């Protein structure tokens, strides 16, 4: 059985900050973020909107990609997001999110 790991980017209501993370359960993790169950940056800045998500079967690849994204400038993170989500819609709010 293969695992799936997600690298994701969240933003706040006004798209002013980005949070990058990695998880093996995107549904659980989004519930935690949206309900401020994890104390820290995400709850402080209310980054509840999922604007980017990419999956892989390798935890090593997921962590490596997360570190790369965290090193990006805001401009480069926004460019990455805009490739697949140019309107910055909350991907998790879609009726049938492809997650």
Phi and psi angles of residue 29, each rounded to the nearest 5 degrees, phi first: -65, -40
Domain count, the chain: 1
- The structure's pTM equals 0.92
Residue 99 lies in a domain: no
Q: Could you tell me the CA-to-CA distances from 62 to 21, 55, 73 in Å, in that order?
A: 9, 8, 19
Q: What tens-digit pLDDT sequence spans the chain (99 residues)?
A: 469 999 999 999 999 999 999 999 999 999 999 999 989 999 999 999 999 999 999 999 999 999 999 999 999 999 999 999 999 999 998 776 666
Phi and psi angles of residue 55, each rounded to the nearest 5 degrees, phi first: -115, 160
Q: How far is it, in rounded angstroms, from Cα 62 to Cα 75?
A: 21
Q: What's the confidence (pLDDT) of residue 98? A: 63
Q: What's the confidence (pLDDT) of residue 85? A: 96
Tokens coding 13: 């209501």
Q: What's the confidence (pLDDT) of residue 93? A: 85
Q: Could you tell me the CA-to-CA distances from 39 to 23, 36, 54, 59 in Å, in that order?
A: 16, 7, 24, 23
The boundaries of the domain holding residue 82 are 5-93
Residue 23 lies in a domain: yes
For residue 20, the cross-strand partners are 9
Q: Residue 63 sits in a domain of what CATH number?
A: 3.40.1440.10
């Amino acid at each position: 059985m293969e695992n799936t790991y997600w690298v994701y980017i969240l933003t706040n209501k006004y798209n002013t900050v980005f949070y990058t993370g990695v998880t093996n359960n995107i549904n659980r993790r989004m519930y935690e973020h949206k309900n401020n169950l994890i104390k820290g940056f995400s709850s402080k800045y209310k980054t509840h909107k999922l604007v980017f998500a990419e999956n892989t079967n390798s935890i090593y690849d997921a962590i490596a990609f997360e570190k790369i994204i965290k090193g990006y400038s805001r401009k480069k993170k926004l460019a990455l997001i805009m490739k697949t989500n140019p309107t910055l819609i909350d991907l998790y709010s879609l009726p049938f999110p492809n997650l």
